[in-house]
Structure 1
Amino acid sequence: MSIDSILSTLSEQGSASVLKGIKRGVERECLRIDKHRLAKTSHHNALGSALTHPYITTDFSESLLEFITPACSDIEQTLAQLEDIHKFTLANIDGEELWPLSMPCFIEDQDEIRLADYGSSNVGKMKTLYRQGLKNRYGSMMQAIAGVHFNLSFPEAFWTQLQQIEGNSDKLSDYISDKYFSLIRNFKRELWLISYLFGASPALCSSFLGGRKTNLPFESLGKGTLYLPYATSLRLGDLGYTNSAQSSLRVTYNSLEEYLEGFKQAISMTSDLYQQFGDYRDEPAKQLNQNILQIENEFYSPIRPKRNAQSGQTPSEALAEGGVEYIEVRALDVNPFSEVGISKEQIQFLDVFLLYCAIKPAQDLAWQEQVETQANLDLVVNQGREPGLALSNKGKAHLLSDWAGDIFTELKKIAKLFDEAFGNQEYSAVMSKLEKSVANPELTYSGQFLAHLLEQQEDNGHYALKLASDYKQNTLGKGYHVFDQALFEREAVASHNKQKEIEASDTQSFVQFLDDYFK
C-alpha cells in the first residue's frame, strides 16, 4: 500500500491518536573534563554504581558517562528527565564539566583514557575485559567518541490498526517484527539525511589523530583544529566509530530469521587479525575471544532491532524468543546546541521519519544495495554540504537536494497526522524549518557549527569549553523537573548495594563463568 492510502485511512478512522502512545528513550554519552582536559578521576561514588544504576553509567572509559532515560510517551518528560540527570551529575563531580561534542577533547595520549571499572564480579570483569579488547583492536581514542542513541517503539494499537489496513493475517508479533525490519531497511537507504541534517562533527582537535596519517583533505584553523569544509559528521566516517574488520560480515535485514542467522555467523567467525591477543584464558587477558565480534554489542550499526533481554539472555536470544520490541537509532551526533545533547525538534523529526520508514513500501535490501547505502553515508559524512553533491539510488545518480526534497514531501504529509494526534501544528513547523536546510546547507547543525568557528576564527576545542561552562552554569541554576536529588541519592545507594550483592553471589571463577557464557 502507498503512504498516502495508509495515512488517509488512519485519518478517516480517527486513529491518529494512537501515535500519542509512541514510547521513546534517550541514551546520551559525554566525557567528563577537568581543567580543559579529559578527567582522570574514577567514576564518582556519588553517582552510584556504573554496573547497576538505572540512569547513570559509563561506556568505554571511566570518564565517558552515559545517561539513560526510561521509556516514556511524553517528549517533554523525556527531555526533563535528561536535564535532571545532567543536573545531579554536574553537582556531584567535584567541579568537572561535561564535554558538549561527539569528537573528544584534548587527549595527548590514548593511555590517558582509563577503561571503565565495574567491580570484582564476574559480569563486571567481563564488561571491563570486553573494553580491553576494544582498546587492543581499535585503540582507545576511537572509543572516546560520544553519541546519542534514540530508542523508539510504536504502540501495539498502532500495529494492530496498520495490520488491519494492510489486510495482513500473520501472528501480530511476527507482523510487528517484519514491519520493524521494513523500517530498518528504509532507514538504511535514507540514513544519509539524518547525517546531513543533524551531523555536528565537521571538525576535530588534531590530537585525535595522534600522528596517524589520513587521506582526508583537512584544512586547519586556529592552534589545532582540523576540519572538512563540507563535512557533516566525522564521527560516522572512517575516522570515527567504525570497524573495518567487520566489512567481511554480511548481516542483512530482510527478516528477523535472516538477521539472526547472519548474526550467528558473525559472532562465531574467528579473525586472523585478533588472534595475536589471545582470549580470556590468558594472563593477563587482552580480549574476550579471537572472533571478529567479541560479543554482539561490538557490531557497529546505525540502527538496531532490540528487545529487552531477560537476565542471562544475549540480545539475539531475546529477539529470537520474543521478536522486535523497539528500535535503537545510533546515528546521532551529540547536538552541541543543546544542553542535554538532543533537542525536541530532533525527536519530533525522528518520530516522523521513523513512521515514514515504517509505512513506506520496503523491498528487500540486497547486500550490494546495502554497500551502496554505506557509500552514500560516507559521501554525506565527508562532503554532505557540497553544492551539487550526487548520491547513488539503485545505481543511478541522484542529487542530494532533489532526493531530500522528495523525502520531505512525504514527511510533511506524515507530520500532519502527528499534528492531528497532538492537536497542534508543531510537527509541521519542524518539517518546514528543517526542509529549509536542503536548499541552505548553512542551516544544518554542521553548517552552523563550522560557520561559528570560521567567523570567530576559534578553535573547535575552545568553543566547546565555552559551551560546557555555559551549560553547566545554566543546568545547575535550574530546579529539578521530574526526578529530585533525594531520588538520585537513593538510587546511588541502592546501586552500590546491588553491585555488592552481585559480587557476593559469584560462585565460579572468572574463567569458568566465561566458559559457560560462550557455550
Structure 2
Amino acid sequence: MLNQLQRRLDALAAQDALSLLFNPRRGVERETLRIAPEGRMALSGHPKALGSTLTHEFITTDFAENLLEFITPVSDSVEQLMASLSDIHVFTQAHLGDEVLWPLSMPCYVEDQNSIPLADYGSSNIGRMKRVYREGLKNRYGAMMQLIAGVHYNFSLPDAFWQHWSEGDQSSAYMGLLRNYRRLVWVLPYLFGASPSLCGSFLGGRGHHLPFEKRGKGTLFLPYATSLRLSDLGYTSSAQAGLRIDHNSIDGYIRDLRQVIATPSEEFAKIGVKVDGQYRQLNANLLQIENELYAPIRPKRVTERGEKPTEALERGGVQYVEVRALDVDPFSPLGVDEDTVRFMDIFLLSCLLLDAPVLDNTQWSENLANYQATVLEGRKPGLMLQRQGQPLAMADWFAELLPVWQRLADGLDAEQGGDAYRQSLAVQENKMQDSSLTPSARLLAAMDDRDNGQLGLALAQQHRQALLAASYRRWSPAFFEQETQRSLAAQEALEAEDSQPFDDFLGQYFQDLPQDVA
C-alpha cells in the first residue's frame, strides 16, 4: 500500500501539486437535541433569536423542532473550522435560556415519541415539502429513530488540484474514495464511536437480538460495542437493508439512486400518501427523496435552487464527499474535536490515493459485515474481520494502514507547519493499542453507577458552562444577529413569492423520475 501511495505522491510532486493535496477543504455539520434543565427534551419551538431554520446559513433543524443542526462554512484551515463551529455553539447556547445541548448521539428521556415536534419550515412550498418529508420519516421508521444525532464531515480538494490528477476525472477519483471508504469504514466506529449504550425507552418495546446488559435505572449496553447509533437499532432502515447503490461510477450511482426513488414499496403504500387532505409522506416509494438513503458516505455537489441532488451530480459531477459515520463526541462541547478532524483528513486522503478496485456484491457484503462487527464488538480483544474472504485481525489491518497514514500526516504537517497531524495520528494509534482510550470505553467508564440520562445531563451542564464562558473566535454576536434578521427576511420573501399550489409543486418536483421500474 505504501508503494501505491508513494507512486501517486511522486506524480503529484512532479507537477508541484502536493501543496494542493495537503490543503484539503472541509466542513462540519453537528446535530444536537435541545434539552430542558431537568433532562427532558425541550418541547418549545425553535428560538426566534436563532433565525429561520429554512434559510439560516449556520443554524437549522434536522428532523424535529428541537433537533438543532449546526453547519460550518467550508474551510481550508482546521483552526478556522473549529473557530466557526465554536462560535455557532456559543451564540446558540447564549440564546437557549436554561436549556442545554444533549451531548450523546442516542436520545434519552423521551417518554412519548408522539410528543416529538416535527421541524417547521414555514408555509413556502419548499418549507412544506421539508415538513412532509419528515412526516414520512416518522410514519416509516418512527420518530424516536430520527432523534439520533451525529456529526457529518464534508471533505474535498481544491478545484485546482484536479488539473494535476492524471488518473481519471474528478468524479471517478471521488467514487474511488467512496469504494475504499466502504472497505475501511470499520476504522471510524472503533476510533470515534461513542454510543455503546442506550436508554431502554429508545426501543419502545421493539424486539431485538442483541445480548444487552443493564446499568443504572434503565440503560442497556453491550460491553464491546462502539456505536449502537450505526447498528440496525440505530440510524438504519430494514427497508433499505438490501439496497446496493453502485459505487463503481458516478453514472451508475445516479442511475441506481433514481431507480430506488422511483420504485414503489408495498410496505410504505399501506401508510398512504395523502389521506383526508393531509400528506403522510411525499410518496410511497422505497425512498421519498435522495436524502432518505441511510449511507455512511455520500458523493455530493451543492444544489442550485429547485435542483435534486442527483441532478446536481449529473450536471457537474462530484464536488465533495459527506462522511456520516461519526458519533457525537460526548466529551467535547462542540461534538467533535480537532484531533478527529485532522485524522479524518488523513483517512480520506488515504482512501483517495490508494488503489480502489471495483466493488462487487461479495465485497459489498464483506465490507458491511466488517462494519457491523466493529459497531457491535469493536473493542472485543482479538476481533477478526474479513478481507477478500480471509480472516484478518482488526489490529493487524490497522497496523498495515499505519505507515500510509504516517506518510500522509508527515506531508500535511510539512505543508501546514508543526506536528498536529502526526500528534493526531498518535492519539488514534494509542486507541488501537489500548481500547480503554476509545470514546465508547470512556463513556461506559464515566457512567459508573449512573445511567445514560444522568451522565448525559451532567456532561450537558458542563458543556453549557464552558460555552457560556467562551469567547468568540471568528465572528461576533452582531454577525449572528445580522444573519438572524437576513434569514427571517429571506423566508418571508420565499413565502410571499410562492403562488403555485403545493400539489402542483410536488408533481413538478417528481415528474422526471424514471418510469421503467417494477
TM class, shorter-length: over 0.9
Partner of 1:427: 421
Deviation at 1:464, TM superposition (A): 1.2
Distance 2:364 2:87 in 1: 39
Identity of aligned residues (%): 48
Q: CA deviation at 1:37?
A: 0.5
What's the Cα RMSD here? 1.4
Q: 1:318 aligns with which of 312, 327, 337?
A: 312
Match of residue 28, structure 1, among 14, 27, 30: 30
Picking from 390, 400, 406, the partner of 1:396 is: 390
Q: Give the drift of 1:383.
A: 0.6
Shift of 1:8: 4.1
Aligned-partner residue type, residue 404 of structure 2: E
User: For residue 365 of structure 2, what is the aligned residue in structure 1?
Assistant: 371
Task: Give the Å deviation of 1:280.
Answer: 4.1
2:494 is aligned to: 502
Counterpart of 1:341 (choices 332, 335, 340) is 335
Q: How does 1:51-450 map to 2 (within 5 A)?
A: 51-163=54-166, 168=167, 175-280=169-274, 283-450=277-444
CA contact (8 A) 1:31 1:99 kept: yes
Partner Cα separation in structure 2 for residue 346 and residue 431 of structure 1: 9
Q: Which moved more, 1:381-390 or 1:274-283?
A: 274-283
Query: Does the residue aligned with 1:103 lie in a helix, a strand or coil?
Result: coil
- Please tell me whether residue 17 in structure 1 is matched to residue 19 in structure 2: yes
Letter matched to residue 149 of structure 1:
H
Deviations 1:146-166 (A, max 9, x none): 000000111133333332xxx
Distance in 2 of aligned mates of 1:7 and 1:319 = 28
Alpha-carbon contact 2:300-2:319 (below 8 Å) kept:
yes
Question: Among 441, 459, 473, which residue is 2:465 paired with?
Answer: 473
Q: Tell me, what secondary structure is at the counterpart of 1:416?
A: helix
Alpha-carbon distance in 1 for matches of 2:289, 2:204: 28
Q: Where does the alignment leave 5 or more consecutive residues of structure 2 unmatched?
A: 512-518
Aligned positions of 1:41-52 closer than 5 A: 41-52=44-55
| Match status 1:490 vs 2:492 | no
Shift of 1:398: 0.9
Report SS of the residue matched to 1:37. coil
Count of residue correspondences: 508
Displacement of 1:282 in angstroms is 5.3
**2:5 paired with 1:3:** yes
Q: What stretches of structure 1 move > 6 A for 4+ residues in a row? A: none
Residue identity in the other structure for 1:112: S
Q: Quote the Cα distance in structure 1 between the aligned partners of 2:111 and 2:494.
A: 37
Helix, strand or coil at the partner of 2:270: helix
User: What CA distance in whole angstroms lies between the structure 2 residues aligned with 1:204 and 1:466?
Assistant: 16
1:32-82 deviations in whole A, cap 9, x for unaligned?
Answer: 000210000011111101111110000000000000001111111111111
TM-score normalised to structure 1 length:
0.95
Q: In structure 2, give the amino acid aligned to 1:227.
A: F
Q: Take 1:331 and 1:282, find their aligned partners in 2: how far apart are those partners?
A: 39
Q: Compared with structure 1, are the counterparts of its residues 142 and 85 closer, same or farther at alpha carbon in structure 2 (3 Å cutoff)?
A: same
Preserved CA contact (<8 Å) 1:7 1:414? no
Cα distance in 2 for partners of 1:179, 1:36 equals 46
The 3-state SS of whatever aligns with 2:30 is strand
Unaligned runs of 5+ residues in structure 1 are none
Q: Which moved more, 1:407-416 or 1:319-328?
A: 407-416
Three-state SS of the structure 1 residue aligned to 2:165 is helix
Conservation of the 8 A alpha-carbon contact between 1:40 and 1:63: yes
Post-superposition Cα deviations, 1:303-335, rounded to whole Å, max 9, x if no partner, equal 000000111110000000100000000110001
Q: Secondary structure at the match of 2:33?
A: strand
In the alignment, the residues of structure 2 paired with residue 242 and residue 365 of structure 1 have an alpha-carbon distance, to the nearest angstrom, of 21
